Structure 1
Amino acid sequence: MSQLFQPFKLGGLSLDNRIVIAPMCQYSADDGAATDWHMIHLGHLALSGAGLLIIEATAVEPEGRISAADLGLWSDRTEQALARVLGAIRTYSPIPVAIQLAHAGRKASTRVPWAGGGQVSPAEGGWQPFAPSALPYAPTEVTPQALDAAGLARVKEAFVAAARRSMRLGLDAIELHAAHGYLLHEFLSPLSNRRDDAYGGALENRVRFPLEVFEAVRAAVPANVPVGVRVSATDWAEGGWDIEQTIVFAHELERRGCSYIHASSGGLTSAQKIAPGPLYQVPFAQALKREVTMPVIAVGLITQPAEAEDIVASGKADLVALARAMLYDPRWPWHAAAELGAQVRAPNQYLRSQPREFKTLLKAASD
Structure 2
Amino acid sequence: MWKPPEKIAYSPRGGHWPSEREVRRSRLFQPLEHGRLSLAQRTWIPAMVPWRATEEGEVTRDVIDWYRRFAQGRPGAIVVEATGIRDIPSGPLLRASHDRYIEGLQDIVRAVREASGGETKLFIQLIDFLAIKRRQPAEKFIRRFLAIGDHHREALGMTEASEDEVRETLAAMSEEELEAVLTTREFESLSMGSRERVTDIHLPHVADLPETLPGLFADAARRAEAAGFDGVELHYAHAYTMASFLSALNTRDDGYGGDPDGRVRLPLEVFDAVRGAVGDSFTVGCRMLAEECIESGSGLGDALFFAEKFALAGMDFISLSRGGKFEDAKRPKVGEAAYPYTGRSGYECMPQYLSDARGPFGRNLAPARAIRERLRAGGLDTPIVVAGGIHNFDQAESALSAGEGDIVGLARQAMADPDWFEKVRSGNGSKVRLCEYTNYCEGLDQKHKMVTCKLWDREALDEETPRTPDGKRRTVAPQWGRDRD
Task: Give TM class, smaller chain.
Answer: 0.7 to 0.9
**Comparing both chains, which one has the higher relative contact order based on Cα–Cα distances under 8 Å and sequence gaps of 6 or more?**
2
Deviations 1:328-348 (Å, cap 9, x if unpaired)?
10101122224489xxxxxxx
1:152 and 2:210 are equivalent in the alignment? yes
Select the residue among 141, 156, 159 that pairs with 2:193: 141
2: CA distance, partners of 1:220 / 1:84: 22
Is the 8 Å Cα contact of residues 105 and 182 (structure 1) preserved in structure 2? yes
Higher strand share: 1
Equivalent of 2:482 in 355, 362, 365: 362
Instruction: Deviation per CA, 1:315-366: give whole Å up to 9, x if none.
Output: 221001111111110101122224489xxxxxxxx99934xxxxxx4243x4
Residues 70 and 418 in structure 2, CA contact (< 8 A), matched pair in contact too: yes
Equivalence map 1:210-225=2 (5 Å)? 210-225=267-282
Partner of 1:42: 67
User: Do the aligned partners of 2:426 and 2:482 also contact (CA within 8 Å) in 1?
Assistant: no
The 5-angstrom pairing of residues 14-163 of structure 1 reads 14-30=38-54, 31-63=56-88, 67-93=90-116, 94=118, 95-106=120-131, 108=132, 139=189, 140-144=192-196, 146=201, 147-148=205-206, 150-163=208-221
How do 1:187-226 residues align onto structure 2 when only pairs under 5 Å count? Answer: 187-191=245-249, 193-226=250-283
Does the CA contact (< 8 Å) of 1:2 and 1:340 recur in 2?
A: no
**1:329 partnered with 2:417:** yes
Consecutive unaligned residues in structure 1, runs of 5 or more = 111-117, 125-133, 342-349, 355-360
Residue 286 of structure 1: aligned partner: 369
Query: Structure 2 regions of 5+ residues with no counterpart?
Result: 1-24, 142-183, 329-342, 352-359, 376-380, 430-475
Between the two proteins, what is the percent identity of the paired residues? 31
Tell me the distance in 1 between the aligned counterparts of 2:237 and 2:483. 36
1:353 paired with 2:473, answer no
Name the SS of the counterpart of 1:286 in structure 2.
Answer: helix
Name the CA distance, whole Å, in 1 between partners of 2:101 and 2:477.
Answer: 35
Is the partner of 1:208 in helix, strand or coil? Answer: helix
- Report the alpha carbon displacement of residue 242 of structure 1 after superposing the two structures with TM: 1.0
Are 1:264 and 2:321 counterparts? Answer: yes
The aligned residue for residue 297 of structure 1 is 385
Alignment equivalent of 1:6, drawn from 30, 34, 38: 30
Give the distance between the partners of 1:235 and 1:57, measured in 2 at CA. 19
In structure 2, the CA distance between the partners of 1:105 and 1:161, relative to structure 1 (3 Å rule), is same
Q: 4+ residue stretches of structure 1 with deviation over 6 A? A: none
Residue among 209, 229, 237 paired with 2:286: 229
SS state at 1:57 partner: strand
Q: Distance in 2 between matches of 1:353 and 1:99?
A: 27
Matched, 1:174 2:232: yes
Once structures 1 and 2 are overlaid, which stretch shifts more, 84-93 or 300-309?
84-93
For the 8 Å contact 2:284–2:316, the answer to whether it is kept is yes
State the alpha-carbon separation in 2 of the partners of residues 324 and 186 from structure 1: 25
- CA drift at 1:294: 0.7
Shift of the 77–135 alpha-carbon distance from structure 1 to 2, 3 Å rule, reads farther
Partner of 2:154: none
Paired residues in the alignment total: 329
CA distance in 1, matches of 2:295, 2:233: 28
Provide TM-score, normalisation by structure 2: 0.63
List per-residue Cα deviations over 1:164-222 (Å, max 9, x = no partner): 0011111101110000111100011122x221211111111111111111111112112
Give distance in 2, aligned partners of 1:334 and 1:143: 43
Distance in 2 between the 1:226 and 1:351 partners? 29
From the CA coordinates, give the structure whose radius of gyration is larger.
2
Q: Matches of 1:259 and 1:177 in 2, distance apart?
A: 14
Structure 2 CA distance for partners of 1:351 and 1:43, relative to 1, 3 Å: closer
TM (norm. structure 1) is 0.82
